[in-house]
């Protein structure tokens, strides 16, 4: 069974909405159990439990929120060097396009790299004009179909990579499915 954790911070609910969509995408892959946890309720056990992790934060001054940073500094600090090899990715909501959501994703990925997570971006397009190359991003709530598709794609990809690399389920390899499905960006 694939074990996926979607961990998020959200002050006004936008990143929380993204988290639910990422979880939906992950759950679309067979034999996947998904936990969704806010940064206020998550425990080290949740992080140890998972094989694949999606971390979401509002974009704050172009980086991850202080609460999410504190979680990794203070709560997870003593677990450093005990989490290596899990698969991970990022998502972020900002106030507006150009507000730094991809920078925020990169700052999350930087923290995850430091803990030895194997981080990834999504190469194929969620919709014709929307990608999640550095993680899923949106302005405010994920109201548009584009933003929702990007969140779901990120979660699905996380569960696919976990299925392939942790459980040896080669049939879930996204490259095979991409070839079958075609790329929305190239229609």
Ligand X SMILES: Cc1cc2nc3c(=O)[nH]c(=O)nc-3n(C[C@H](O)[C@H](O)[C@H](O)COP(=O)(O)O)c2cc1C
**Residues engaged in binding ligand X (CB under 6 A):** 10-15, 58-62, 93-96, 99-100, 140
Output the smallest distance, CB 19 to ligand X, in A: 9
**In terms of CB distance, is 65 or 131 closer to ligand X?**
65
* SS3 at position 50: coil
Q: For ligand X, which is the closer residue by CB, 80 or 97?
A: 97
Nearer to ligand X by Cβ, of 60 and 148: the residue is 60
- Closest residue to ligand X using C-beta atoms: 99
Give the shortest CB-82-to-ligand X separation in angstroms: 29
Smaller CB separation from ligand X, 15 or 106: 15
Q: What is d(CA 95, CA 87) in angstroms, rounded to the nearest whole number?
A: 28
Decide whether 13 or 145 has the Cβ nearer to ligand X: 13
H/E element, 93: strand 87-94
Nearest distance, CB of residue 10 and ligand X, angstroms: 3
| Minimum CB–partner distance for residue 40 and ligand X (Å) | 13
| Residue 148: partners with Cβ closer than 8 Å, 6 or more residues away | 21, 142
**CB-based contacts of 178, cutoff 8 Å, min separation 6:** 124
Going by their DSSP bridges, the two strands 118-119 and 52-58 should be labelled as: unpaired
Residues 45-61 as b/e (b if ≥16 CB within 10 A, e otherwise) read ebbeebbbbbbbbbbbe
Burial of 92 (0-12, 13-18, 19+ CB in 10 A): buried
Provide, rounded to whole angstroms, the least separation between the CB of residue 62 and ligand X.
5
């Amino acid at each position: 069974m694939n074990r996926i954790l979607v961990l998020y911070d959200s002050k006004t609910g936008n990143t929380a909405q993204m988290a639910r969509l990422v979880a939906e995408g992950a759950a679309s892959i067979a034999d996947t159990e998904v936990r969704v946890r806010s940064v206020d309720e998550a425990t080290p056990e949740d992080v140890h439990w998972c094989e694949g992790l999606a971390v979401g934060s509002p974009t704050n001054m172009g980086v991850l929120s202080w609460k999410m940073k504190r979680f990794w500094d203070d709560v997870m600090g003593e677990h450093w060097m005990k989490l290596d090899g899990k698969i991970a990715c990022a998502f972020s909501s900002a106030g507006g396009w150009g507000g730094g959501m991809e920078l925020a994703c990169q700052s999350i990925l930087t923290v995850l790299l430091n803990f030895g997570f194997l981080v990834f971006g999504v190469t194929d397009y969620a919709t014709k004009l929307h990608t999640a190359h550095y993680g899923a991003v949106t302005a405010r709530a994920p109201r548009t179909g584009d933003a929702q598709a990007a969140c779901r794609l990120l979660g699905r990809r996380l569960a696919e990579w976990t299925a392939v690399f942790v459980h040896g389920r080669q049939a879930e390899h996204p490259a095979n499915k991409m070839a079958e499905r075609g790329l929305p960006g190239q229609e």
